[in-house]
Amino acid sequence: MRQVYLDNSSATSLHPKVAELMASLLKEGLANPSSLHGPGRRAKEVLEEARGRVAGLIGAKPEEIVFTSSGTEANNLAIKGMAMAYKDKGRHIITSDIEHFSVLNPLTRLEKMGFSVTKVPVDSNGVVDPAAVERAVTPETIFASIMLANGEVGTIEPIKDIAGVLKKKKVILHADAIAAAGNIPVDVNELGVGAMSLSANQFHGPSGAGALFVRNGVRVRPQIDGGVQEGGRRAGTEDLLAIAGMGKAAELAAKEMPERSNKLRSLRDALRDRLTKDVDFIHLTGHPTQRLPGSLSLCVEFVEGESVLLFLDMQGVAVTSGSACTSKALKASHVLLAMGVDAAVAQGSLHFSLGMNTTKEDVDYVAKVMPPIVDRLRQMSPLYEKVSKEVKA
């Protein structure tokens, strides 16, 4: 059976050249980059090469890159680390309703510790209004954390404009660029962000490596205490294999980005056009044009997302859903609800995220197997029964 992986927003496949580099380093065996001897210096060289490559992807200086174990850790370091570093200046933080849980949950923890958090809403396309961010600023505000792109619905946020209004008010902006970096052009200086999170597994690098860009002059208190690795901002011997993989993936992403994103866009649009033509009652979610190139997010009315996901899986197609039943917490995606998607419609949420390996044949296959699945589930659905009777009447 054909296997079609369209869940690149959860984790991308490893780029073959990344795998090659990691395998050769695994064979070589690496010492501790903090050691002063020859093997230590060799390890340090691998670490710094990766740092330079990651910095290169986002237009940063190498010393502004702090390696972490994941995007989640990068977000935690940014949020908690800046809160701790600037708590004497103020205790107010701004964020949005559609952030990832690795931003929202650290903020909830900070609220319990006495910080206050303002969440700005989004419009029906999932876009944060820079003016709303500006209005949320108080004399107590120390920083804002707004994502560069949303991994669930694909919307790209106007981070440059948001950074602009915050700069006037001397408020630092942290951008969660985990879904964006490596997939769309990202330059920290053009955007004007003070801190930014990345994750290797979003651009065909390995899971287990993330990074936080911390602009020179911006302070973060380490959240893991110990040695003075990573400029004293993240203790613990670095996971060199994963970090080297991240560096290589960053270098390749920078080089291959125009080609990759053109291909992704055209395949994504083809899938969108086929599905909306062959299945009725589909709602596209996220911004129609300001979106990640490989992301197709939609809600299929009158069916539940997990059911579609399971049937697609039986056909070899891997996707994800933001329905309540798919989540362990039994809550529909907070992103869809924040965009004002009706709770019942949100149950039919599906996210197709294409990657560099996706082919036209994959798209044709999904466009072929999906309509009968939806039709079958709708024949079983008491909600569709009502609609089809109304349509007939």
Partner 1 sequence: MSGPYSDKVMAHFANPHNVGELNDADGIGEVGNPACGDIMKMYIKVKDNVIVDTRFKTFGCGAAIATSSMATDLIKGKTVDDALKVTNKAVAEALGGLPKQKMHCSVLAEEAIQAAIDDYLKKTTGKGLNLKESSHEHAHEEEEGHEC
Binding site residues, partner 1, CB under 8 A: 302-304, 306-307, 310-311, 313-314, 323-326, 328-332, 343-344, 347, 379-385
- Structural contact between residues 236 and 34, judged by C-beta atoms closer than 8 angstroms: no
CA angle 340, 342, 344 (to 5 degrees): 155
372 vs 366: CA distance, rounded Å? 11
Name 92's bridge partners: 116, 141
Which residue, 144, 156, 363, 162, is CA-closest to 275? 363
Q: How far is the CB of 89 from partner 1 (least distance, A)?
A: 34
Sheet of strand 295-300, all strands in order from the earlier edge strand to the far edge: 282-284, 295-300, 349-353
Query: Is 299 considered catalytic here?
Result: no
Cα separation, 306 vs 347, in Å, equals 8
Cβ atoms of residues 58 and 256 within 8 Å: no
Q: Is the distance from CB of 175 to CB of 51 less than 8 angstroms? A: no
Q: Which is nearer to partner 1, 302 or 352 (CB)?
A: 302
Smallest gap, in angstroms, from Cβ of residue 295 to partner 1? 23
Q: Which of 113, 325, 344, 380 is catalytic?
A: 325
C-alpha pair distances (Å), 7 with each of 152, 334, 352: 10, 19, 6
Closest to partner 1 by CB, 113 or 310: 310
Residue closer to partner 1 (CB basis): 156 or 332: 332
CA–CA distance, 112 with 224 (Å, rounded to integer): 20
- Between residues 335 and 356, which has the closer beta carbon with respect to partner 1? 335
CA distance linking residue 294 with residue 154, whole number of Å: 8
Minimum CB distance to partner 1, residue 326 (Å): 7
Q: How far is the CB of 307 from partner 1 (least distance, A)?
A: 6
Comparing CB distances to partner 1, the nearer of 26 and 344 is 344
State the catalytic residues. Answer: 325
